[in-house]
Structure 1
Amino acid sequence: MHFARITLLLIKNNVLQLRRKWLTLPLVLLFPFIIIGLLATIIVTFVTPNERSPIQVGLVNLDQSKETKLLVDMMDEASQLGTYIQLSAMDETVAIEKLETDELSTYIVFPEGFTANLYQGIPVTLPIIGNPNQPIQSQMVKTLIESVTRHIRASQANVLTINNYAKQLPINDQERNDLVFEQFKEFVFYTIGRKQLFQEEKIINQATANPISYYSLASWFIIFTIWLLIIYNFLYQDLSPRLKQRLTLYGVHPLQQILAKLLVTLGFVTIISYFFLFLVIELFHWDIHLMDSIRIIIVTILYSTCFLFSIAMVEVLIASHRLRLLTQIGFTMMVLLLSGALFPTIYLPLNVQNLLSYIFSSEALYWLQEVVLNDRLFVDYIPLLTMTGGGFFLLLSMALGKERICQ
């Protein structure tokens, strides 16, 4: 009870501190808009693709059977990949040379024995050799070819079934092989000719598919993140050792001061950020319903709490105010970089992308995009709740541990 009473008193003191600085506060809140304005042109230029430069992909046929020739010819002539990916049949030596000169992003290999494995029931694969200088393009091609492989394996199962029943018919091996090949061609025409090959795996980059909405949401995300950092440090007071000792005698602990700043920052930034978000929604006419607003509020509060816990840990660990502020700014930049707000996460290295589900900023912005841009009706709060709970107990242990050490 005493802990809560002291915390409420500190909260009241922080609110009064904000009210006393109401003249300078608007200027502080305008600072993130200046940063967004400087970054906007660079980011848009960086992520906007050039339609005149499609991803070049080679097709190498080492099997040289009539089945693989059919597949290579149809994939070479197929137009389902649009203007961003261009397939070309070539020899492997030519593909290697073009890969070394960055003329190719990837080349796909139909290995020797591909057709034999196809008819014998052995799982078939299409090796993909990527360009280390173009990892993003290689990953996109890999995703598409996985769709091709699934269709080929589905065709393989059907062809094997037909081949098994054909062996029971009174026909010779040549007629049976011709029958199986005709069935194989029908499956290939069905998947490629009817434009079903790449429609199951569709890569959507919101930054290019819907740039205005994406960058509006990302800008709002960046702005209220910077507001959290600014207001939290705006409430910082450099206390002398004698005053700290006196506060300790009155039962005021560092953890109470941190929680008071955290709650005031969270409440103040939440109010002004949702007012700003309402203006953005009205400006771009987003279809946001009541339940969507509730989901957005929950996600942003969980994200804000995780972020404030993180910068509070920095305050606990680092005594120097300048070094602490520098560390918090660096941490904020890293959080925004990994979130996808500065530029989409698809442009990050692949090993980094695999870890993004464990980053609270990336998780929060992902679900905000799903709700606002993709009309998602469900949000998985468990990862953010887990990160928030872990952050709270980590901050609690750090603050109490440091307090005992100082005593």
Structure 2
Amino acid sequence: MRIMKHIFVFIANDISRLKRKWLTLPLILISPVIFIGLIIWMLSSLLSFDDEDKISVGLVNLDDSAETAVIVSALAGSAEAADGLEIIEVSESDAKLMIENDTLVSYIIFPGKFTEKMMKGESSELIVVGNPDMQLESYVISSVIDTVVRHIRNSQANILTINHYAREFGMTDEARQNLIFEEFVSQFIQVLSSDTLMDEHQKAQNISAGNMYFIVNGLFIIMTVWVYMLYIALMRDISSNLEDRMKVFGVTHLAQGLARVLSTGIIVTVASALFTYGVLTFGGIDLETENLLRLLILIDLHIFITAMIMIIIDWLLPSFKISMVVQLAVLLMIILFAGSIIPRIYFPIYLDTFFDYMYSYQSLFWIEEIILNGRFTMEIDIMIATFGIAAVLLLVLSVLKERRFL
């Protein structure tokens, strides 16, 4: 109970200090909005697509089998009804030439023995080659390519199941192979129907369909920067003499840290929620109540995790100036590896694992999915795990600081 009393006293004190700085708080909240808003406006003006231009994707078939030829033909035909998307079958030499001439955004290579390996359940990877001079278009089409790969994996899983039970029922090898091939082609064409691919292509055009993509990413950056700026504003006035006096009264570092997390988190959450509501209203996006709650959970977790990281760095480094610089560097890493400045597709492939376990990437990804694509689901496992790890670190460091090990 005593620690809770101290936490509430610190929260009230932080709010009181901010009230005395009533000119500083609006500056903290508005300055990132103005700066990032200008950047969004410039990006949305420069990086715009002509609706008459089609995004072209090539298919290169290096497998001589009839099965792969059917797959490639099905893929090429599935994009005919998708507005703004063109999938064509080309040779590898023609694809390279079209990449050099900037007439092809990317091409997918089906390697030799692709179908044969898939039928046996062996790993058979598609190779995707992008155009370095058309990076934005490559990002736009990336989810369509992901859809192709995902459907192929799903089809492979289904035919392997059929193959397993066909063996158990004693079917001849020839009959079993014919059944597998027919089922594979049937399922693959079904999941890659025109409507399905059109829907995925529509989702892929987040970055090109309007300014909302840039606005959502800007919103994410703004609320992350707010955490840093508000934390610095609250910590700047705390002197070492004040900390010594607090120790005399039995105030623990844990109470101070939790109060700072709650003060920063609550203020930034309220500001972010209001700003998000304004963005949704401005964009004419009407979300269901359950999706608004999902957004609030994602924003809350991101803000509180970031606030805890700021305090952990502050406790690890004795100098306020050094910790401020390190906090800024970490903040930039959080924003960068969320994919809000540079999309994930432009990073080296060996960083994919890092993205997969980055809480800010998961947060931004699902915020985009809910706002831009109307998804009615979300995943927060990485965010929950990161929150737990940060909380444990906060507790351990507070104990070490009490015992003067830090």
Report the TM-score range of the alignment, normalised by the length of the smaller protein. Answer: 0.7 to 0.9
Structure 1 position 198, deviation (Å): 8.7
**Matched AA of 2:23:** L
Decide whether aligned partners of structure 1 residues 319 and 108 sit closer, same or farther in structure 2, where only a CA change above 3 A counts: same
**Matched AA of 2:200:** K
Q: CA RMSD in A?
A: 4.5
**Matched AA of 2:60:** L
> Contact 1:10/1:260 (CA < 8 Å) preserved in 2?
yes
How many correspondences in the alignment? 386
Q: Distance in 1 between matches of 2:288 and 2:69?
A: 53
Q: Distance in 1 between matches of 2:329 and 2:90?
A: 48
Q: Distance in 2 between matches of 1:13 and 1:113?
A: 66
Structure 1 residues 234-243 or 299-308, which shifts more? 234-243
Provide the residue aligned with 2:223 in structure 1.
224
Decide whether aligned partners of structure 1 residues 123 and 35 sit closer, same or farther in structure 2, where only a CA change above 3 A counts: same
Decide whether aligned partners of structure 1 residues 209 and 41 sit closer, same or farther in structure 2, where only a CA change above 3 A counts: closer
> Contact 1:339/1:361 (CA < 8 Å) preserved in 2?
yes
Provide the residue aligned with 1:8 in structure 2.
8
- Mapping of 1:8-407 within 5 angstroms? 8-41=8-41, 43-44=43-44, 48=48, 52=53, 54-55=55-56, 57=58, 59-61=60-62, 63=64, 79-80=79-80, 83-90=84-91, 94=93, 98=97, 105-106=106-107, 108-109=109-110, 111=112, 122=120, 128-131=126-129, 141=145, 144=148, 147=151, 196=193, 199=196, 202=200, 204-205=203-204, 207-208=206-207, 210-237=209-236, 239-406=238-405
The answer for unaligned runs of 5 or more in structure 1 is 169-179
Decide whether aligned partners of structure 1 residues 343 and 205 sit closer, same or farther in structure 2, where only a CA change above 3 A counts: farther
TM-score normalized with structure 1 length: 0.74
> Contact 1:106/1:138 (CA < 8 Å) preserved in 2?
no
Q: Distance in 2 between matches of 1:216 and 1:314?
A: 30
Decide whether aligned partners of structure 1 residues 48 and 144 sit closer, same or farther in structure 2, where only a CA change above 3 A counts: farther
Q: Distance in 2 between matches of 1:293 and 1:193?
A: 34
TM-score normalized with structure 2 length: 0.74
Decide whether aligned partners of structure 1 residues 26 and 151 sit closer, same or farther in structure 2, where only a CA change above 3 A counts: closer
> Contact 2:305/2:386 (CA < 8 Å) preserved in 1?
yes
Q: Distance in 2 between matches of 1:88 and 1:14?
A: 63
Structure 1 position 323, deviation (Å): 1.8
Q: Distance in 2 between matches of 1:152 and 1:254?
A: 55
Provide the residue aligned with 2:135 in structure 1.
none
Decide whether aligned partners of structure 1 residues 214 and 404 sit closer, same or farther in structure 2, where only a CA change above 3 A counts: same
Q: Distance in 2 between matches of 1:380 and 1:152?
A: 25
SS at 2:375's partner residue? coil
Q: Distance in 2 between matches of 1:74 and 1:288?
A: 35
**Matched AA of 1:144:** V
Residue deviations 1:137-173 (CA, integer Å, cap 9, x gap): 7896475256468669989979x99xx79989xxxxx
Q: Distance in 1 between matches of 2:251 and 2:8?
A: 11
Overall identity of the aligned pairs, in %: 24
Structure 1 position 347, deviation (Å): 4.1
SS at 1:279's partner residue? helix
Q: Distance in 1 between matches of 2:265 and 2:191?
A: 54
Structure 1 position 17, deviation (Å): 0.7
Q: Distance in 1 between matches of 2:73 and 2:369?
A: 39
Structure 1 residues 386-395 or 147-156, which shifts more? 147-156
Decide whether aligned partners of structure 1 residues 142 and 223 sit closer, same or farther in structure 2, where only a CA change above 3 A counts: closer
SS at 2:88's partner residue? strand
SS at 1:211's partner residue? coil
Q: Distance in 1 between matches of 2:85 and 2:322?
A: 46
SS at 2:60's partner residue? strand
Q: Distance in 2 between matches of 1:138 and 1:380?
A: 21
Q: Distance in 1 between matches of 2:67 and 2:221?
A: 53
Structure 1 position 78, deviation (Å): 7.0
